[in-house]
């Protein structure tokens, strides 16, 4: 196939690269089956390396028994199938730069168009093509890969599935072994650029001579030539390899290879074959031969003891020498680069994945539940401690309440009644007219010179009665306590006492002092008395309403002289009197 | 080719991991459910205790407030009770008291009139029905007093306010001098007569608080 149009190498980290860079390796038991046109090779791997290898020519009952013997040697060992048949179709295609889902649909349609229903088909991403004129970025390049599932292949797959071992699926040997080319590459200086061309030649008993050609690290071409006849010797094998590589080089030159290009050509063969290989016969300047044992050392793999001994002895009669190496190498890889599964294989693979998924999920569940449960338990502990503290506080408060109630005097009146009486008494005091200050003030200020001859006091508010005013002065709920001290309501309790209802008093005072001082002075004494009354009655208005000698032009003035015609005891007669009006206190 | 059904050996292979998974899920979910249920229970109990604590604190606060109020007003309440603020108005006893005090204080003459009593109920704002509500019972008392000087009149009023049960403020007070010739008055007294020197007209508001016997305040 001509893959010369392969574009520049796109640095893309796929799963295989990731596994290699992370140095992920599988160490458990595994069975790798290399399936070719001439049968299948079963290689059973354990933690110590290759434990057993068996070639089975046909999936007939004897072959099944032989294969099952290998598989059932460790029934829990998963089986990975490497398909290495002649009929493998690779077609390069490009996909426009569309979204992932559209790309998937396009590839599915292209695979359907390219391969028939009897094929299993898949696609391999190759990177971006060189951008066309007017485009900033190139299209996506893919290999459309299809393999016809023949009756023979189906029989082999049934054999594997029926064995009951876990199935890891089927992969294509050329695609997977591309990574082996990288792993076997000579890297004297890790910083040096990899060769443009890399060629790996392996020899498999079930398929034949497999050539894998990479350009710029990407698979562009692969060839498979069948095994020679059973009686072929080392020379025949060497001739065959020479011839095949010559053909390949001729083809590569058509793909653009020149002698100045860097190339790494690796041939995996027994030591006898390796010793007789001649690069001139292959028309190439580069050649590197490795025995499987050398390659295993390089890859840090352990092959079966027979392989190493055979290789060291120079024998090359066992054409499956590469089988163990490829199987051991592939068996240690964590996952395949590209799966190519039939529906039955897919189903078996899914079922095989269930235990691991179940254990992982179980572990995850337990860890998650343990984490969440621990956090919840921590919260629960805190909440319980808080509850305990609250319960203790409750007990203390209950005791305090009981003590409080027990300490109450037994004859204590009900608070509602106390509040009712106290509020009512206060309201009455607030509503009652305040006469006492006026009477007391008069008695304080009169002295020897004045005598009260008439006094009338009455409330300023004469429209409503005391009870109605007191009712208005009550709080909205007279039976509830008012928690501010507004006094006793006695009117004598100081500043906090209610002031009471204002009064209006009219008093008549007679002058009893010395009349010889003159009228002006007597009048002044009446005025002085008004001043003193106002002084001792703060908040009251005191007015001299009837002065004894009102000589003002706007007032009326009377006077009498001489002896009365009849002696009488009614009225003050010619005595000197004054009238006062006292109103207050101010609200 | 293997059919769509799951072969028995696969079921056997899957039974252990699925069993482990089921067990893990059961244990995990069960544990989480248990601890959540425990937390819910604790939260419920905590909420109940908190509510009770609030109630207890309110109760204690109320009790302390009441105690403080009672401490502050107990004396006033007892004084008011002792002054007969909640007693019934007994006009006959009150008349006797007036007559006795007039003699004791030296009032020459005292005449009294108990006017019609009125009742001012607290029903509108405090109690549901008028019959069950407290009320002020108010009786105006009109006094006409004569005396030979001011002292007996004011002494009589003071004594009356002290001895008559209830609250007895003066509404109006009028004092007039009737005799201006003191020599005549002294002579009349020497003759064994009782001349009127001062005349006072006093109106008193006699108020008591009528508390129905089974009345209880909401805070009682």
Q: Which of A434, A569, A575, A580 to mutate to test the interface with B (most CBs of B within 10 A)?
A: A569
Query: Rounded to whole angstroms, how far apart are CA atoms A51 and A70?
Result: 10
A370 and B18 in contact by Cβ < 8 A? no
**Is the pLDDT score of B2 beyond 60?**
no
Task: Give the residue with greater pLDDT, B12 vs B129.
Answer: B12
d(CA A418, CA A248): 120
Which helix or strand (DSSP H or E) is residue A55 part of? strand A49-56
What pLDDT was estimated at residue A147?
Answer: 94
Please check whether residue B61 touches A, CB under 8 A: no
Of residues A306 and B98, more confidently modeled: B98
pLDDT of residue A507: 93
Lowest mean pLDDT among A121-125, A284-288, A307-311, A519-523: A307-311
- Chain A residues closer than 8 Å to B167 by CB: 425, 428, 432
A129 CB-near residues (< 8 Å, 6+ apart)? A7, A94, A138, A139, A140, A141
Instruction: Assign A476 to helix, strand or coil.
Output: coil
Q: Which of B24, B126, B177 sits opposite A365 (nearest CB)?
A: B24
Distance from chain centroid for Cα A519 = 105
Closest-CA distance, A377 to chain B, in angstroms, reads 7
- Say if B5 is an interface residue toward chain A (CB within 8 Å): no
Q: How confident is the model at residue B3 (pLDDT cuts 50, 70, 90)?
A: very low
At A61 the pLDDT is 93
d(CA A15, CA A13): 7
Spatial contact of A277 and A269, defined as CB atoms under 8 Å apart? yes
Q: Report residue B122's pLDDT band, with 50, 70 and 90 as the boundaries.
A: confident
Is the pLDDT assigned to residue A212 strictly greater than 70?
yes
Q: Which residue of A has its CA nearest to B44?
A: A387
Band (pLDDT 50/70/90 cuts) for residue A313 is: very low
Longest dimension (CA), chain B: 157
Contact A394 B53 (CB under 8 A): yes
Give the chain B residue whose CA is nearest to the CA of A428: B167
Asked if pLDDT for residue B29 goes beyond 70, the answer is yes
Pick A372's closest partner by Cβ from B18, B32, B177. B32
| H helical segments located in A332-435 | 343-406, 415-431
DSSP H or E run through A503: strand A503-511
Residue with tokens 């959540």: B36
> Has residue B8 got a pLDDT over 90?
no
Q: Which residue has the higher pLDDT, A40 or A461?
A: A40
pLDDT tier at A21 (50, 70, 90 boundaries)?
low
Range of weakest confidence among A21-25, A212-216, A421-425, B19-23: A21-25
Among residues 103-142 of chain B, which lie with CB inside 8 Å of chain A? 118, 120, 122, 125-126, 134, 136-138, 140
Q: Which of A14, A4, A255, A212 is nearest to A127 (CA)?
A: A14
- Pick from B17, B50, B167: CB nearest A354: B17
Average pLDDT for B101-125: 88
Which of B7, B53, B122 has its CB closest to that of A393? B53
Q: Do B80 and A422 touch (CB under 8 A)?
A: yes
Q: What is the mean pLDDT of chain A?
A: 83
Alpha carbon A32 to chain centroid distance? Answer: 43
Q: Report the range of poorest mean pLDDT among A83-92, A505-514, B35-44, B183-192.
A: B183-192
Q: What is the pLDDT of residue B126?
A: 47
Q: Scanning every residue of chain B, which has its alpha carbon at the shortest distance from the alpha carbon of A415? A: B220
Which long-range contacts (C-beta less than 8 Å, at least 24 apart) are formed by A378-386? A379/B39, A380/B35, A380/B38, A380/B39, A380/B42, A383/B39, A383/B42, A383/B43, A383/B46, A384/B42, A386/B46
More confident residue, B7 or A6: B7
Are A351 and B57 an interchain contact pair (Cβ–Cβ within 8 Å)?
A: no
Q: What is the pLDDT of residue A497?
A: 47
pLDDT band at A27 (very low <50, low <70, confident <90, very high): low
This complex has an ipTM of: 0.79
Q: Could B173 and A164 be called an inter-chain contact, meaning their C-beta atoms sit closer than 8 Å?
A: no
Any idea which residue has 């003035």 for tokens? Answer: A557
Q: Is the pLDDT score of A346 beyond 70? A: yes
Cα angle vertex A431, ends A428, A435, to 5°? 105
B56: pLDDT confidence band, cut at 50, 70 and 90? very high
**Chain A residues closer than 8 Å to B207 by CB:** 428, 466-467, 470
The per-residue pLDDT for A304 is: 67
Provide the pLDDT for residue A134: 78
Interface test with B, best of A368, A373, A405 (most B CBs within 10 A): A373
- For residue B73, the number of C-alpha atoms closer than 13 Å in the C-beta half-sphere is 33
Query: In angstroms, what separates the C-alpha of B43 from chain A's closest C-alpha?
Result: 7
Q: What is the mean pLDDT of residues A211-229?
A: 88
CA–CA gap between residue B68 and residue A299 (Å, rounded): 95
Those residues with Cβ within 8 angstroms of residue B215's Cβ, 6 or more apart along the chain or in another chain: A416, A417, A420, A479, B127, B132, B133, B134
Q: Which of A405, A422, A564 to mutate to test the interface with B (most CBs of B within 10 A)?
A: A422
CB of A150 within 8 A of CB of A35? no
How high is the pLDDT of residue A487? Answer: 47
Distance of CA A242 to the CA centre of its chain: 63
What local confidence, expressed as pLDDT, does residue A8 receive?
40
How many whole angstroms from its chain centre is CA B216? 9
> What is the spatial distance between Cα B181 and Cα A477, in angstroms, rounded to a whole number?
58
A1, pLDDT greater than 60: no
CB pair distance less than 8 Å for A476 and B31: no
Say if residues A264 and A286 touch (Cβ distance below 8 Å): yes
Q: Please determine, for residue B161, whether its predicted confidence score (pLDDT) is greater than 80.
A: yes
Model confidence pLDDT, tens digit, residues A520-574: 899 899 999 999 999 999 989 999 998 888 777 777 777 777 765 555 555 555 6
What is the pTM assigned to this prediction?
Answer: 0.56
Residue A122: count other Cβ atoms within 10 Å of its Cβ.
Answer: 21
Contact at CB, B23 and A362, closer than 8 angstroms: yes
Q: Chain B residue closest to A342 (CA)?
A: B1
The answer to whether the Cβ–Cβ distance between B25 and A470 falls below 8 Å is no
B66 touches A407 (CB < 8 A): no
Q: Report the DSSP beta bridge partners of residue A451.
A: A510
Q: pLDDT tier at A495 (50, 70, 90 boundaries)?
A: very low
| Confidence at residue A213, expressed as pLDDT on a 0 to 100 scale | 92
Shortest alpha-carbon distance between residue A78 and chain B (Å) = 13
Of the partner residues B28, B63, B81, the one whose CB lies closest to the CB of residue A366: B28
Length of chain B: 220
Span B64-88, pLDDT tens digits: 888 888 888 888 899 999 999 999 9
Statement: residue A18 has pLDDT above 80: no
Give Cβ neighbours of residue A415 (< 8 Å, ≥ 6 apart).
A481, B66, B69, B70, B217, B219, B220
pLDDT interval class at A152 (50, 70, 90): very high
Average pLDDT over residues A244-250: 90
CB spacing of B69 vs A458 below 8 angstroms: no
Residue B120: which of A471, A476, A488 has the nearest Cβ? A471
Q: Are B1 and A344 in contact (CB under 8 A)?
A: yes
Choose among A368, A432, A572: nearest Cβ to B180: A572
Please give the full DSSP string across B187-201, using - where no structure is assigned. Answer: HHHHTT-----EEEE
Contact B32 A470 (CB under 8 A): no
Per the CB < 8 Å rule, is B217 touching A414? yes
Of chain B residues 146-205, which have a CB less than 8 A from chain A? 150, 154, 167, 169-177, 179-181, 184, 205
Instruction: Give all strands (DSSP E) within B24-134, no chain letters.
Output: 109-114, 118-121
Q: Look at residue B112 in the predicted model and tell me its pLDDT.
A: 96
Percent of chain A with pLDDT over 70: 86
Query: Does pLDDT of B115 surpass 50?
Result: yes
Which pLDDT score, from 0 to 100, does residue B114 have?
Answer: 95
How many Å lie between the alpha carbon of B92 and the closest alpha carbon of chain A?
Answer: 22
**Angle made by CA atoms B189, B192, B198, in degrees to the nearest 5:** 40
What does the block give as tokens for A232?
């072929």
Q: Which residue has the tokens 């009197």?
A: A577
Distance CA B53, CA A394 (A): 6
Give the tens place of pLDDT for each residue, A467-489: 888 888 888 888 887 766 544 44
């Amino acid at each position: 196939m001509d893959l010369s149009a392969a574009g520049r190498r796109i640095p893309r980290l796929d799963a295989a690269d990731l596994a290699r860079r992370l140095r992920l390796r599988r160490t458990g038991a595994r069975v790798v089956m290399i399936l070719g046109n001439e049968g299948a090779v079963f290689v059973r791997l354990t933690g110590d390396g290759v434990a057993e290898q068996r070639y089975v020519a046909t999936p007939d009952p004897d072959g099944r028994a032989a294969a099952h013997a290998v598989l059932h040697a460790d029934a829990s060992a998963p089986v990975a199938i490497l398909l290495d048949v002649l009929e493998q179709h690779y077609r390069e295609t490009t996909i426009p730069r569309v979204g992932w889902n559209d790309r998937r649909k396009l590839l599915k349609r292209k695979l359907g168009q390219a391969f028939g229903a009897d094929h299993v088909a898949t696609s391999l991403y190759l990177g971006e093509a060189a951008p066309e004129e007017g485009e900033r970025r190139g299209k996506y390049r893919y290999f459309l890969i299809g393999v016809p599932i023949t009756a023979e292949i189906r029989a082999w797959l049934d054999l594997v599935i029926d064995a009951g071992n876990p199935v890891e699926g089927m992969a294509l040997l050329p695609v997977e072994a591309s990574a082996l080319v990288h792993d076997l590459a000579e890297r004297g200086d890790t910083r040096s650029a990899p060769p443009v061309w890399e060629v790996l030649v392996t020899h498999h008993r079930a398929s034949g001579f497999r050539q894998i050609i990479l350009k710029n690290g990407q698979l562009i071409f692969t060839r498979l030539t069948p095994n020679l006849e059973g009686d072929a010797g080392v020379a025949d094998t060497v001739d065959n390899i020479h011839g095949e590589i010559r053909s390949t080089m001729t083809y590569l030159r058509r793909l653009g290879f020149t002698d100045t290009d860097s190339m790494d050509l690796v041939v995996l063969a027994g030591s006898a074959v390796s010793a007789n290989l001649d690069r001139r016969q292959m028309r190439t300047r580069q050649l590197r031969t490795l025995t499987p044992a050398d390659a295993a050392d390089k890859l840090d793999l352990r092959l079966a003891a027979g392989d190493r001994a055979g290789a060291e002895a120079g024998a090359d009669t066992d054409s499956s020498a590469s089988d163990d190496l490829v199987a051991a190498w592939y068996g240690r890889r964590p996952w395949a680069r590209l799966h190519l599964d039939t529906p039955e294989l897919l189903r078996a693979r899914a079922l095989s994945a269930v235990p691991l998924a179940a254990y992982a999920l179980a572990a995850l569940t337990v860890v998650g539940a343990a984490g969440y449960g621990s956090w919840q338990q921590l919260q629960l502990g805190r909440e319980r401690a808080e509850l305990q503290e609250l319960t203790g506080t409750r007990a203390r408060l209950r005791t305090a309440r009981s003590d409080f109630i027990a300490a109450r005097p037994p004859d204590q009146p009900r608070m509602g009644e106390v509040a009712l009486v106290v509020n009512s008494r206060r309201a009455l005091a607030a509503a009652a007219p305040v006469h006492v200050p006026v009477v007391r003030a008069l008695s304080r200020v009169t002295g020897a010179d004045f005598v009260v001859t008439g006094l009338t006091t009455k409330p300023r508010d004469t429209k409503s009665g005391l009870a109605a005013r007191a009712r208005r002065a009550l709080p909205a709920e007279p039976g509830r306590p008012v928690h501010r001290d507004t006094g006793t309501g006695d009117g004598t309790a100081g500043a906090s006492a209610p002031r009471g209802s204002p009064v209006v008093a009219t008093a008549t005072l007679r002058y009893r002092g010395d009349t010889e001082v003159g009228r002006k002075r007597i009048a002044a004494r009446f005025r002085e008395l008004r001043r003193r009354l106002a002084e001792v009655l703060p908040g009251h208005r005191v007015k001299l309403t009837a002065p004894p000698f009102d000589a003002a032009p706007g007032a009326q003035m009377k006077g009498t002289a001489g002896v009365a015609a009849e002696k009488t005891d009614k009225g003050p007669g010619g005595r000197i009197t004054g009238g006062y009006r006292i109103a207050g206190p101010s609200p | 080719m293997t059919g769509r059904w799951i072969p028995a050996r696969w079921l056997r292979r899957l039974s252990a991991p699925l069993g482990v998974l089921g067990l893990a899920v059961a244990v995990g979910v069960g544990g989480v459910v248990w601890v959540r249920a425990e937390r819910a229970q604790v939260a419920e109990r905590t909420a109940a205790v908190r509510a009770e604590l609030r109630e207890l604190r309110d109760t204690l606060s109320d009790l302390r407030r009441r105690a403080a109020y009672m401490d502050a007003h107990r004396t006033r309440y007892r004084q008011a009770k002792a002054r007969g603020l909640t007693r019934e108005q007994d006009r006959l006893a009150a008349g006797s008291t007036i007559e006795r005090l007039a003699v004791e204080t030296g009032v020459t003459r005292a005449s009294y009139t108990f006017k019609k009593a009125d009742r001012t109920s607290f029903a509108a704002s405090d109690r549901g029905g008028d019959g069950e509500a407290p009320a002020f019972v108010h009786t105006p008392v009109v006094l006409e007093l004569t005396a030979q000087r001011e002292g007996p009149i004011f002494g009589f009023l003071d004594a009356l306010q002290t001895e008559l049960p209830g609250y007895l403020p003066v509404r109006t007070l009028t004092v007039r001098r009737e005799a201006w010739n003191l020599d005549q008055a002294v002579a009349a007294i020497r003759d064994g007569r009782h001349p009127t020197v001062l005349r006072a007209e006093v109106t008193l508001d006699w108020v008591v608080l009528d508390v129905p016997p089974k009345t209880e305040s909401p805070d009682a």
